[in-house]
Amino acid sequence: MESSQGHGEDEAKRETLAVILTAAPEGSQTLKRELLEQLQQCQKQHRDVNLMLHTVTQDSRCSLCPEKWLWWMGRCYFFSVGLQENRRWNESAEFCRQYNSSLIVIEDSAEMDFIQEVMTKFPQIPFLWVGLTDAKQEGQWLWGDGRAVQHYMQVMVEWDADHRDCADLRGGASLFAADCEEYGPWACKKEY
């Protein structure tokens, strides 16, 4: 918190010095020179701080999520596309468990928007396995946390049938029932 305040103070100093430099009377060359030196010092400090922040955020020791995982709203997400071979739903869920995570449980429209945005970056994704199944009782779709499909959002699972017990997410924020034995990409989520 302190560093962001310091950054704001430096910015304000630079702006003030720039205004004084342009408004100072002609005869005050010494004052202009001193102010110019202060301005240049502030600019150098600003560049140094930005470089330091960039370096720290690129250091894997300072990452909040494991390598290849994305950080969003206090959680880490793994999208298998381009990083892992496609898997069946159960194999995808097992992969997530190995990383202390679970297949994605989509809790609100903002999270749905985030996932959809990531999916648009990979146009080859036909669907994405999510943590939603009706394997325990046909027609009763439950998220991996045991909550009913409509607990978080008013969504329906399309194409429900006896042999389609796992859900996938497609474009347009649509959930579809699918055969759990199909191979496809998936997404994991874990709390930080």
Q: What is the pLDDT of residues 105-146, one digit of tens each?
A: 999 999 999 999 999 988 888 899 999 999 999 999 999 999
pTM of the model: 0.68
Number of domains in the chain: 2
Report the alpha-carbon distance of residue 185 to residue 58 in Å, rounded: 27
State the helix-helix crossing angle for 29-58 and 2-23, rounded to 10 degrees. 150
Residues 131 and 78 both lie in one domain:
yes
Return the structure tokens found at 78. Answer: 């793994």
- Choose the final residue of a domain: 45, 62, 79: 62
Residues 53 and 124 both lie in one domain:
no
Q: Which domain holds residue 20?
A: 2-62
* 52-69 per-position pLDDT tens digit: 665 555 565 667 899 999
